[in-house]
């Protein structure tokens, strides 16, 4: 199903952005009526997206190369290109509320921090992880610590961005790919996709507190805005596991497509927590889910090979490219 949601189910946010990794573009969907509002070129194989704190710009990690593309959120026109180290292969990306951009660099076993990303001379710093396949990255509220999920090394790494201590890593399971830090910074979750498992870690010590069995192949994990749940995107069975963060148990399972054919990947909550969006890469759709009921409200046309997602609140407009 597509088109506008019923009046009672209308999404309260304005635009959904989708990285189209198979064609090198980004799509902006108007959530009021479910139509494609604009589509713009980004770079080869854009995988992950991040909105600027004010919602006016979009950062895109160019996975096959060494750059971060900055786009105008209003019309997806190019604003800037940030060049990282040779062979960086940036994947996971965060535009921190303090204004800095962070990106994991699989090709260099590191992460990058970009200060003043919209200036004519951004400051770029690199921090090694020492691990293979540093795929996704999360950042502390104070922007002084980063954590990466490392696919190749089957681990999570903690990085002191102030340089006071070397990076530390702990094994977390085969195919460690998804990672999320709770909003209060007290819980770190990582998904081991090849073990159908989610682990909770102490963000400071990296001690594993508990392990939760999820649906099959949980390649992403995100936190509900309330902090009451984390949810995993389970590619093989096309479901979402809803985990109670207090008890560490699966409270319920949401069936999205119910199988692997859709290739369900990225998950994103809207800031209110009422909607959950799931990118379905093989069907070029984004499932919009009512989180309370688990009902799929509609499927939005997301463009070819949709993966990374970002959402923009109503009332925000982009700025002119420069």
Contact 227, 246 (CB under 8 A): no
What are the Cα distances from residue 241, in Å, to 31, 117, 170, 221? 25, 36, 24, 9
Cα–Cα distance, 148 to 35 (Å, whole number): 35
pLDDT in the model for residue 5: 56
Cα–Cα distance, 274 to 81 (Å, whole number): 34
pLDDT in the model for residue 163: 86
> What does the mean pLDDT of the chain come to?
94
CATH architecture of 13-312: 7 Propeller (2.130)
Cα–Cα distance, 40 to 84 (Å, whole number): 22
**Which comes out higher in pLDDT, residue 43 or 313?**
43
Q: At residue 115, does pLDDT exceed 70?
A: yes
Q: At residue 320, does pLDDT exceed 80?
A: no
Cα–Cα distance, 280 to 159 (Å, whole number): 32
- Residue 259 pLDDT level (bands cut at 50, 70, 90): very high
pLDDT in the model for residue 313: 80
Q: What is the mean pLDDT of residues 244-257?
A: 98
Contact 245, 232 (CB under 8 A): no
Angle at 164 between CA 161 and CA 170, to 5 degrees: 70
Q: Which of 27, 117, 50 is nearest to 80 (CA)?
A: 117
- Residue 65 pLDDT level (bands cut at 50, 70, 90): very high
pTM of the predicted model as reported, rounded to 2 decimal places: 0.94
Cα–Cα distance, 245 to 45 (Å, whole number): 34
Residues 6+ apart with CB under 8 A from 273: 224, 225, 226, 291
- Residue 314 pLDDT level (bands cut at 50, 70, 90): low
Structure tokens at 188: 């770190």
Alpha-carbon 283 to chain mean position: 19
Q: At residue 277, does pLDDT exceed 80?
A: yes
Cα–Cα distance, 304 to 322 (Å, whole number): 28
Share of the chain above pLDDT 70, in %: 93
pLDDT tens column, 293-306 = 999 999 999 999 99
Q: At residue 4, does pLDDT exceed 70?
A: no
Cα–Cα distance, 48 to 61 (Å, whole number): 6
Q: At residue 322, does pLDDT exceed 60?
A: no
| Residue entry with tokens 């609140």 | 313
For 270, the 3-state DSSP assignment is: coil
Residues 6+ apart with CB under 8 A from 269: 222, 223, 224, 225, 275, 276, 277, 291
pLDDT in the model for residue 181: 99
- Residue 9 pLDDT level (bands cut at 50, 70, 90): low
**Which comes out higher in pLDDT, residue 5 or 205?**
205
pLDDT in the model for residue 1: 47
Class of residue 68 by CB neighbours under 10 A (exposed 0-12, middle 13-18, buried 19+): buried
Q: What is the mean pLDDT of residues 220-227?
A: 98
Domain residue spans of the chain: 13-312
**Which comes out higher in pLDDT, residue 42 or 102?**
102
Q: Which of 153, 145, 249, 239 is nearest to 192 (CA)?
A: 153
**Which comes out higher in pLDDT, residue 315 or 284?**
284
Structure tokens at 109: 């076993």
Structure tokens at 8: 């009672």
């Amino acid at each position: 199903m597509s088109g506008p949601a019923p009046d009672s189910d209308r999404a309260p946010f304005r635009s959904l952005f989708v990285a189209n990794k198979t064609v090198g573009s980004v799509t902006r969907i108007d959530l009021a009526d479910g139509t494609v509002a604009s589509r713009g070129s980004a770079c080869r194989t854009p995988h992950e997206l991040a909105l600027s704190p004010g919602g006016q710009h979009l950062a895109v990690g160019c996975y096959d190369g060494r750059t971060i593309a900055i786009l105008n959120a209003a019309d997806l026109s190019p604003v800037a290109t940030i060049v990282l180290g040779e062979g960086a292969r940036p994947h996971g990306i965060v535009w921190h509320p303090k204004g800095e951009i962070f990106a994991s660099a699989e090709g260099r076993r590191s992460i990058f921090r970009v200060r003043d990303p919209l200036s004519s001379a951004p400051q770029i710093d690199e921090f090694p992880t020492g691990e293979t396949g540093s795929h996704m990255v999360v950042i502390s509220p104070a922007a002084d610590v980063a954590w990466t999920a490392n696919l190749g090394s089957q681990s999570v790494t903690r990085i002191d961005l102030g340089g006071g201590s070397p990076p530390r890593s702990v094994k977390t399971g085969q195919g460690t790919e998804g990672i999320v830090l709770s909003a209060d910074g007290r819980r770190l979750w990582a998904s081991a996709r090849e073990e159908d498992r989610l682990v909770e870690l102490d963000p400071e010590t990296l001690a594993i507190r508990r392990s939760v069995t999820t649906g099959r192949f949980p390649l992403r994990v995100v936190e509900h805005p309330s902090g009451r749940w984390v949810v995993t995107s389970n590619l093989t069975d096309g479901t979402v596991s809803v985990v109670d963060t207090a008890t560490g148990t699966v409270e319920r399972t949401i069936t999205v497509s119910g199988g692997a054919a859709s290739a369900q990947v990225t998950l994103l909550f809207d800031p209110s927590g009422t909607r959950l969006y799931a990118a379905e890469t093989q069907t070029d759709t984004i499932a919009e889910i009512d989180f309370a009921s688990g009902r799929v409200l509609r499927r939005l046309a997301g463009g070819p090979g949709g993966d990374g997602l970002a959402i923009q609140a109503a009332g925000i407009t982009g700025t002119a490219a420069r």
